[in-house]
Structure 1
């Protein structure tokens, strides 16, 4: 039986794909008997109720008057070292290179006790921050000093190597969904609160940043609803929200669009949709598309970043060039008009999510990485062929 590990996890605990994945991973590892210590500035929002083997350590920032800006990074590094020493951690797994991997490097230097660090790149730390020349050397240092580095898509690995000119090994470890949570829900009664029986439901979920191109979502919907009775559900909040509200009003679509704000039970909400709209201009993976896929909802989106690694064009959704709202609208209409085709896509979505991106497979991959960096390869048990079918 494999030795159980003591693992520290640091992530952004608020809304965001990286925080969701890190938190869900911690919960799954705890279920397998590992001891998990979250080291963050607040309790991860997906952590929820009490979990055996999970502990939370709050990072408190020193607000000493000489500091113009509270030094969160230094406080985090100090807390990482403190928790690692007190709890005798085997691994510190950080999500995002800046600042978390840099803080882990500082903590490891303070301890000098052989603790290992694993860094997972999620996207913005590379696609945005690594574009800044003043941060490149810092990000490069964080990656070089990690004992293992993973990334959530091949496209992100490619971009990391291209932007930072590094040869450090980076292991592909896709994001995942917990199949016990993400599956098609029976929302027939709930659906009546949002749409008439003859109406289709299109959905977009994001943090409403410019990179998500929510304006394109509205344009796609405007074209679709001219030909098919439909409603658009917008889930989430962010800086573009007011601009989008104005556009919807200017187009006279206010009676066709519902703003649902932030939602925690995403699987229930996604199950309402007939299609998900994801026309992003940058998307290192596209976790929301995977969550939709697991619930049997095809994606109409762009071929940006890692989305093509997740959404199989013509099988689990349709992908178009960034900004090609005409093509995206046509693809949405194709699916919404043909019930047999939609059912075929729905079945393919569920199958792909369960087989290729299931929680059991990805948790096993992370465990294997932990054991390797600790020199415990003999602890790695063979991967069962039917691990995702149980």
Structure 2
């Protein structure tokens, strides 16, 4: 099994590969990855090893090439159909839009297709299996030590609300900032934090948000922390997590927050609405609706007990429905089905 990663920058797809492969290895799958931007210690092969794909693997007639991007599908089709390597192709689609003609053609060439949500699957015109992403509940877990308490951050207030991820318009960072500017003056026990990278093309966007925060006099209670060494501890320090994206592929951060026993408010972008149990683990609002987002957050800032109760429910919900092991097992089932295919089925 090969899981290519043809993108150097860290992305949600890369994160999925990094988390899944060690678990799949523990489940007995012979799997490695290929490509740049991957951590040391992850089983991988070099580009020159692709020449060895003409040989059948030990104990199997074919290998599986599991693509998650268009360029990875292109490589798989070339190796299988042009170079005649003994490969079968699997593609995971997270896109929630109508695919372009070339992408549709590539998807039709796959031996199996996985959709990361029912919503993304609705855009596929081929048979597919819905397998939602899971979260590693050993890495993302509730507070265990005093360092996990918000008080250890040294920031003011008793409770924290956070928004994590890349700082840009698509992610709705501005919607979160606007909501906090409106709400924090009424709730002095709360502090808001934003973590994540700002790339050069979005620096003016971030700087404008900082100026608005300064104008509101909230520099001490609404902070950009930038990229933090370990975001997991910040999930544990939060009482409420907000995912205000206007557009999203899948979006893992609400699962990571819920696994940390944190209530969530999200937009309905990506697969967020399929993760949340409204009124029990969090609240879902229409993407881009700043007023609805603000009022959903207000309910938790006004009632920290509600936030704690929904955090407890969220933890149980994730552990039952979204453990990473469940995702890995479901993907293994797809692999076995693909291995069992006859060549005449393509």
1:271 and 1:295 in contact (8 A); partners too: yes
Could you tell me how far 1:20 is from its partner in structure 2?
A: 0.7
Distance 2:234 2:294 in 1: 22
Distance 1:102 1:263, change over 3 A: farther
Distance 2:131 2:229 in 1: 25
Given the alignment, which residue of 81, 85, 88 partners 1:109?
A: 81
Distance 2:206 2:322 in 1: 31
| Residue 175, structure 1, aligned to residue 140, structure 2 | no
1:189 equivalent in structure 2: 147
| Residue 223, structure 1, aligned to residue 182, structure 2 | yes
Could you tell me how far 1:87 is from its partner in structure 2?
A: 8.1
Could you tell me how far 1:329 is from its partner in structure 2?
A: 2.5
> In structure 1, the residue corresponding to 2:330 is in which secondary structure?
helix
Matches within 5 A, 1:145-160: 145-158=109-122, 160=123
Given the alignment, which residue of 256, 259, 284 partners 1:294?
A: 259
**Structure 2: 5+ residue stretches without partners:** none
Could you tell me how far 1:258 is from its partner in structure 2?
A: 2.5
How many residues align? The count is 330
Q: Deviations over 1:262-297 (max 9, x none)?
A: 245332221111111111112232210111111111
Given the alignment, which residue of 87, 91, 94 partners 1:119?
A: 91
1:138 equivalent in structure 2: 102
1:203 equivalent in structure 2: 162
Distance 2:196 2:274 in 1: 24
1:381 equivalent in structure 2: none
Report the TM-score when normalising by structure 2. 0.87
| Residue 93, structure 1, aligned to residue 59, structure 2 | no
> In structure 1, the residue corresponding to 2:218 is in which secondary structure?
coil
Could you tell me how far 1:172 is from its partner in structure 2?
A: 0.5
Q: Deviations over 1:155-209 (max 9, x none)?
A: 1112x23xxxx2x112111011112111112354353353557432111111223
Given the alignment, which residue of 208, 212, 215 partners 1:243?
A: 208
Q: Deviations over 1:241-271 (max 9, x none)?
A: 3333333233332222232222453322211
1:22 and 1:95 in contact (8 A); partners too: no
Distance 1:375 1:338 in 2: 54
Distance 1:56 1:258 in 2: 42
Of structures 1 and 2, the one scoring higher in RCO (CA 8 A, sep 6+) is 2
Could you tell me how far 1:342 is from its partner in structure 2?
A: 2.1
> In structure 1, the residue corresponding to 2:92 is in which secondary structure?
strand
| Residue 16, structure 1, aligned to residue 5, structure 2 | no
1:117 and 1:147 in contact (8 A); partners too: yes
**Structure 1: 5+ residue stretches without partners:** 1-6, 60-78, 131-135, 378-390
1:91 and 1:118 in contact (8 A); partners too: yes
Distance 1:360 1:339, change over 3 A: same
1:318 and 1:328 in contact (8 A); partners too: no
1:277 equivalent in structure 2: 242
Distance 1:279 1:299, change over 3 A: same
Could you tell me how far 1:226 is from its partner in structure 2?
A: 1.3
1:92 and 1:104 in contact (8 A); partners too: yes
